Amino acid sequence: MVQLKRNLLSVALASATMMLAMQVHAQDAQPADASSQDAGAKAKKKAEDAKSLDTVVVTGIRGGIERAIDIKKQSTSIVEAISAEDIGKLPDVSIAESIARLPGVAAQRVAGRAQVLSVRGLSPDFSTTLLNGRELVSTGDNRSVEFDQYPSELMAGVTLYKTPDAALVGQGLSGTMDMRTVRPLDYDKAVVAISGRWQRNSLGSAANEGADGNRFNISYIGQSADRKLGFSIGYSHSDTPIQENQVGLYEPWQAIGAGWRPGVPAGTYYSDGIKALRRTGYTKRDGVMASLEARPSDAWISTLDVFHSQATQENTANQFEVNLSGWNGGYSPGLNVSGATVNGNGTFTGGTVQNVYPLVRGMYNHRKDTIEAAGWRNEFFFANGIKLTADASWSRAKRDELNLENNAQIAPPPALDSLNLSISQSGFSQMVPTRDYSDASKLFLRNTIYGSGYGKVPKVDDELKSFRLDADFPVPAALRNAFSALRVGVNYSDRSKQKWQPEGNINVGAQGDTTISSDLQYGLVDLGFAGIGMIPSWNVPGAVAKYMTFNPVDNQPWLIPKAWTVNEKISTGFVQANIDTVWGSVPVRGNIGVQIQHTDQSSDSRVWDNSQPAGHEIRPYSNGKTYTDVLPSLNLAFSLADDQTLRVALARQVARARVDQLRASVDFGVDTTTGKPGAGGGNPLLDPWRANAFDISWEKYFGSKAYISAAYFYKQLTSYIYTQNRDGYDFTALLQGWVPPAGMTVPVQTTGTMSAPFNGKGGKLQGIELTASLPLDLVFGNAWQGFGVVASASFNDSSIKILDPDSASSVGNGPIALPGLSKRVYNFTAYYERDGFEFRINNRRRSDFIGEIGNFDGNRTLRYVVGENITDAQVSYTFGDSSTFKGLSLLLQASNLGDEAYRTYAGSKDRPLEYIKWGRTLLLGASYKF
């Protein structure tokens, strides 16, 4: 990691040095007393060169890079950008991988795919995602968008705003990502683009699922003869195999007492269990994008956008699991360990665990996500220079999920086993049983103390409606030396997000303990990577339907906090003055403005009151609050000599609380012996995260061909949110309508202890970002024509520490860093493009961080994640205009070349929790454009 840091810094610093040398050399060639006529000639030549640059049509990798550089250069804010090489040609499976290559952005993988993104060291909760300038909903439990549901082929590009302006509605605290689809009238002719790819996972086939997948997309862009009407439509399909090998240890890792685990010394850190699994399945995604753009006159532009994505995921995990806590189903003799090994950090690392009763499990998940979005934008231009824009939008996301699990054991009688265990932090831990578990006829579904299974039916429905009205005015003559335009606007959004999660035991039916019939068997899967060998796999839903009963409910105390509705109504007004002036001899662009945001948040849910009579413990409960934020912002871009830009930005920023944190649902009760109330759950009275931000960025451009930059950001957080156990909490609202149970003699107190998210104060976040995008012929001459590099390094630091009792078992009871914060994030791309041939290789790295995952209960849990090192490569050839195959491109692509594992741990790396490999993916394909 240190070496990579040095390499990336060397690239950026060397690039800066070489560019400076080039400038000095050019200056030395001109006499110091050059005449004004010579200076005028130089300026004229520079303008001609710039004009020449503008008229050269650059395609392929370089075309995409140059368009992105131009977006960054022309922006008045500090931004990063991605631009598609061509229609349908962003090279990634989802837009997440593309965005993850931007400076200061890091991805977290889920099921092997980049899914959620951290910007500038902050978790996904702090950024906002837009589609064509409109805020998006999410199929997850919160606000953060699951980017793998957005096909890269349907996107024209992405702009990441690192500093906001007053007119940016829906802005995030760490950044705002705006995904853009094509505008058909931006093209001068009709275009049809088709591509298809075959893909294969290196882990190979297993159980009932293969390792092969496919992708296909087609896009059309057309215009009317008079170019007053344009239409575009794109369709993308992907069928991606899921193949996963995993070994996991249970949390908590905890120091055990004397005699707790016979054979293990007291004080040793020891896990309660271990599992190994092979997961197989698929993810199928279909996306459609369409735009209708009309320009009936010079005074009116109307654009209608629609987007639809539907993803279906189905997978089965075939799992071998052993409880190491001594809870072996109550059978004798009890568990003991011989030959236990303990490392210097007091962590149990292996031994022979005797008298265990393993489970062979089938874990089934079926999930369907649907996202729909539509927006209608109308722009009206008036003769006096006034522009009026009206934009109405709607989006909705729905998630329907089914989780089932079966437990099978060798029976009857109970067949206890011995397990040779070796725990590894850098590979698959090994657990070698004495018995053979490959014979399905000896494994029984049975109602033991473990239970025969469990199931959940989570559902999410997220809907957002918004309307925006802007007006742009020319400024009065007296102000034109300082400002170029004035913009005012209002935006209203209404969002409602609902989640409910019925759950229940899956019990064997009246037939009692049973084996699984051969017609439901998929065959054997190999857990040899964990030392186990073969185990059976089977159709879990089929087994539940044939042998078991499953009646999920949502009326139990532990399920009440999992069902909620959160509503947000946000009214935003803003005024912004655009700056285009000269200070002294320095041209200055930018904007200054203020945004006023009024939020009305509420939640409708239920409360479980365990002090009430049976059958009356559940009652409805609603709560909420309103608040107003005043958000000033300033962006200045100083145009310096030699195509340099210095940017300075100041802003007050907010990020609204996670949706699940705003839920009103709680598990509530009153201690009948003391009269003291207590509860745990959500908190709809939360204020948002708030921060005062300062940014400065120096950028050196070479037309649109290249740039180098160095940026620094600082955020002083004045309010942040984390789960706390707070005494003295006022329970007046929850006590309304509460009736003391019979026999209670003590008075009821109005204050007690609440475990919920609350606002904290103080703390800072800061970072440095270094970036270089260079075609190497610009530095080393024509011999390097076609070669180029794009490199970035980000270094983040935060003084903020939080306590999260919900995740104490995996991150410890002490203060932890902000979730999502990697102190170091690196990105390096090397490419070659010439005569139709293209090659690129990309490496992205991030240091350790605290990630957010869904635990067994389906709730958010924080967990230490080992930093990742992901390498992708792509080679392609496009036939030229003179070829018979004009418009045809052939592609070979490989992702995760190093087969990088995903690793989590409990506080210390020698106490692993998960070690997962999803394999490499190879793609072979072709595209055709005409």
How many whole angstroms separate alpha carbon 743 and alpha carbon 117? 54
pLDDT at 84: 78
pLDDT band at residue 147, thresholds of 50, 70 and 90?
confident
How many whole angstroms separate alpha carbon 194 and alpha carbon 189? 17
pLDDT digits (tens, 9 = 90+) for 207-264: 888 999 999 999 999 999 999 999 999 999 999 999 999 999 988 899 998 888 889 9
681 with 669: CB under 8 angstroms? no
Q: Tokens 């320095």 belong to which residue?
A: 586
pLDDT digits (tens, 9 = 90+) for 621-649: 899 999 999 999 999 999 999 999 999 99
The H or E element containing residue 27 is: helix 2-28
801 with 815: CB under 8 angstroms? yes
pLDDT at 47: 38
More reliable by pLDDT, 47 or 342: 342
Q: What is the DSSP string of 208-225?
A: TB-SEEEEEEEEEEEE-T
Exposed / middle / buried, residue 584 (Cβ in 10 Å: 0-12, 13-18, 19+): exposed
pLDDT at 49: 41
Asked whether residue 536 carries a pLDDT value surpassing 60, the answer given is yes
pLDDT at 723: 82
Which residues contact residue 420 at a Cβ distance below 8 angstroms, ignoring those fewer than 6 apart? 350, 352, 430, 431, 432, 531
| Burial track 628-659 (b if 16+ CB lie within 10 A, e otherwise) | ebebebbbbbbeeeebebebbbbbbbbbbbbb
Which residues contact residue 77 at a Cβ distance below 8 angstroms, ignoring those fewer than 6 apart? 161, 162, 163, 164, 165, 168, 635, 647, 649
Asked whether residue 31 carries a pLDDT value surpassing 50, the answer given is no
pLDDT digits (tens, 9 = 90+) for 327-359: 666 676 778 899 999 999 999 999 999 999 899
Which residues contact residue 719 at a Cβ distance below 8 angstroms, ignoring those fewer than 6 apart? 687, 688, 689, 690, 759, 760, 761
Closest CA to 821 of 850, 843, 778: 850
Asked whether residue 559 carries a pLDDT value surpassing 60, the answer given is yes
Asked whether residue 461 carries a pLDDT value surpassing 90, the answer given is yes
Closest CA to 155 of 59, 219, 107: 219
The H or E element containing residue 16 is: helix 2-28
pLDDT band at residue 33, thresholds of 50, 70 and 90?
very low
How many whole angstroms separate alpha carbon 358 and alpha carbon 276? 11
How many whole angstroms separate alpha carbon 267 and alpha carbon 254? 9
Query: Could you say which DSSP state residue 436 is in?
Result: -
Average pLDDT over residues 861-865: 85
Please state whether beta strands 336-342 and 300-323 pair in parallel, antiparallel, or not at all (unpaired). Answer: unpaired
Asked whether residue 484 carries a pLDDT value surpassing 50, the answer given is yes
More reliable by pLDDT, 903 or 95: 903
pLDDT digits (tens, 9 = 90+) for 256-310: 988 888 899 999 999 989 999 999 999 999 999 999 999 999 999 999 999 999 9
921 with 199: CB under 8 angstroms? yes
pLDDT at 19: 36
| Burial track 787-822 (b if 16+ CB lie within 10 A, e otherwise) | bbbbbbbbbbebebebbbebbbbbbbeeebbbbbbb
Asked whether residue 863 carries a pLDDT value surpassing 90, the answer given is no
pLDDT digits (tens, 9 = 90+) for 734-783: 888 788 888 888 999 999 999 889 998 778 999 999 999 999 999 899 99
pLDDT at 428: 97
Q: Tokens 């400038």 belong to which residue?
A: 23
pLDDT at 680: 86
Which residues contact residue 624 at a Cβ distance below 8 angstroms, ignoring those fewer than 6 apart? 567, 600, 601, 602, 603, 664, 684, 685
How many whole angstroms separate alpha carbon 896 and alpha carbon 909? 23
Q: How many CA atoms lie within 13 A of 693 on its CB side?
A: 30
Pseudo-torsion of CA 668, 672, 676, 679, nearest 10°? -10
pLDDT digits (tens, 9 = 90+) for 351-386: 999 999 899 999 999 999 999 999 999 999 998 889
689 with 707: CB under 8 angstroms? no
pLDDT at 45: 39
| Burial track 722-733 (b if 16+ CB lie within 10 A, e otherwise) | bbbeeeebebee
pLDDT digits (tens, 9 = 90+) for 432-456: 999 999 999 999 998 766 678 999 9
Secondary structure string (H, E, C) spanning 696-759: EEEEEEECCCEEEEEEEEEEEEEEEEEEEEEEEEECHHHHCCCCCCCCCCCCCCCEEEEEEEEE
Closest CA to 775 of 837, 727, 708: 708
Average pLDDT over residues 465-471: 97
Question: How many other C-beta atoms can be found within 10 angstroms of the C-beta atom of residue 257?
Answer: 9
Asked whether residue 613 carries a pLDDT value surpassing 80, the answer given is no
Extended strands (E) in 610-681: 618-640, 644-655, 666-670, 677-681
pLDDT band at residue 858, thresholds of 50, 70 and 90?
low
Asked whether residue 161 carries a pLDDT value surpassing 60, the answer given is yes
Average pLDDT over residues 865-887: 91
pLDDT at 791: 96
pLDDT digits (tens, 9 = 90+) for 68-94: 999 999 999 999 998 876 555 555 666
pLDDT digits (tens, 9 = 90+) for 658-686: 998 999 988 888 888 899 999 888 999 99
Query: How much is the pTM?
Result: 0.87
Average pLDDT over residues 157-164: 93
Closest CA to 292 of 233, 348, 245, 210: 233
In the structure encoding, which two tokens stand for residue 835, read together?
């005569």
Closest CA to 861 of 141, 149, 321: 141
Asked whether residue 153 carries a pLDDT value surpassing 90, the answer given is no
pLDDT band at residue 104, thresholds of 50, 70 and 90?
confident
pLDDT band at residue 95, thresholds of 50, 70 and 90?
confident
Average pLDDT over residues 533-560: 93
Closest CA to 880 of 921, 920, 835, 914: 835
Closest CA to 108 of 91, 84, 132, 125: 125
Per the prediction, the chain carries an average pLDDT of 87
How many whole angstroms separate alpha carbon 316 and alpha carbon 115? 20
More reliable by pLDDT, 90 or 54: 90
pLDDT at 807: 62
pLDDT at 12: 38
Sign, CA torsion 583/586/589/591: negative
pLDDT digits (tens, 9 = 90+) for 692-702: 999 999 999 99
How many whole angstroms separate alpha carbon 690 and alpha carbon 629? 9
Q: Mean pLDDT check: name the lowest of 82-96, 116-130, 288-302, 880-894.
A: 82-96
pLDDT at 59: 60
Extended strands (E) in 412-555: 417-422, 430-433, 443-445, 453-456, 459-473, 483-500, 503-508, 521-526, 534-538, 548-550
Percent of the chain with pLDDT over 70: 89
Query: Could you say which DSSP state residue 529 is in?
Result: G
